[in-house]
Amino acid sequence: MKMGVMVLEGPYQHQAVDSAINFIKAALKRGHEIVGVFLYTDGVNNINKYINPPGERNISKELSELGKNGIDIVACTACSKFRGLRPDLKVENVRQSGLGSLADYLRSADRFVSFGD
Amino acid sequence: MEKVMVLLRKAPYGSVYSAEAFRTIMGIAVFEMDICVGFADDGVYTIVKDQNPEKLDMKPLGDGFPMLADFGVSRFIVHKESLSERGLSTKDLVLEVETADSEQFSEIIEEYGRLLPF
């Protein structure tokens, strides 16, 4: 099955992005396809390359790792501008783009799953 | 045409969710999708008439919703109980809406399949 994912919350304050990462891993393991992950509103903060939690899971690194494995991960450009997340601050293997990407995921996915508050 | 439902559950001010839901509707409507907008819980306040959020340095959110018809978005569903629990009726709203009880509301969510909850 083809699945699209949206994340509406940032790192460490809410569980949303952790659940999304776990969901994506579990879905891939079962042979599903993830058409893309759209990071929206505070969700864009999850790809900051300076995230550095001593002794804890590194969320931006985990997302970069998923991107490296071929998952399309997009952070909303406008939301990034609002939050000062310049393109050079993001981890590798993710990109910034607009709501058109969300529309693409909605159209190409059989199921769409949102993680938020 | 792909069907998508955008669901507003939160009060229009105090957090960015309702405003972003509106932006999302505008953003994806240009891609010609069959979009339904649902309002439940405090989300019903988003389309109440006579909002005056200027003192919060915000623009009235409700004003934008009647314009969505120009972008091909014309189905608006309000959760009946959420409205009555808040002492409101459809006359208090900025646009014409369908009302749905909890069972009907979940049927509509199922009908649309792809749900964007805010």
For B3-117, CATH gives 3.40.1260.10
* Pairing between β-strand A95-97 and β-strand A73-76 as defined by DSSP bridges: parallel
pLDDT, mean of residues A79-88: 97
pLDDT single digits (tens) B38-58 = 999 999 999 999 999 998 888
CB atoms A103 and B33 under 8 Å:
yes
Choosing from A21, A34, A39, A76, the catalytic residue is: A76
pLDDT single digits (tens) A30-75 = 999 999 999 999 999 999 999 999 999 999 999 999 999 999 999 9
A4 contact residues in B (CB cutoff 8 A): 114
Kindly report the CATH number assigned to the domain that includes residue A18: 3.40.1260.10
pLDDT at B57: 86
Domain total of chain A? 1
Decide if pLDDT at B37 tops 90. Answer: yes
Q: Provide the pLDDT confidence category of residue B32 given band limits of 50, 70 and 90.
A: confident
Q: Give the other-Cβ count within 10 Å of A1's Cβ.
A: 10
CB atoms A41 and B28 under 8 Å:
no
Q: Give residues with Cβ within 8 angstroms of A14, minimum separation 6.
A: A116, A117
CB atoms B4 and A100 under 8 Å:
no
pLDDT at B1: 87
| Partner B, chain A 61-100, Cβ-Cβ below 8 Å | 78, 98-100
Q: Give the other-Cβ count within 10 Å of A115's Cβ.
A: 22
pLDDT at B58: 87
Domain limits at A58?
Answer: 2-115
3-class DSSP state of A102: helix
CB atoms B27 and A40 under 8 Å:
no
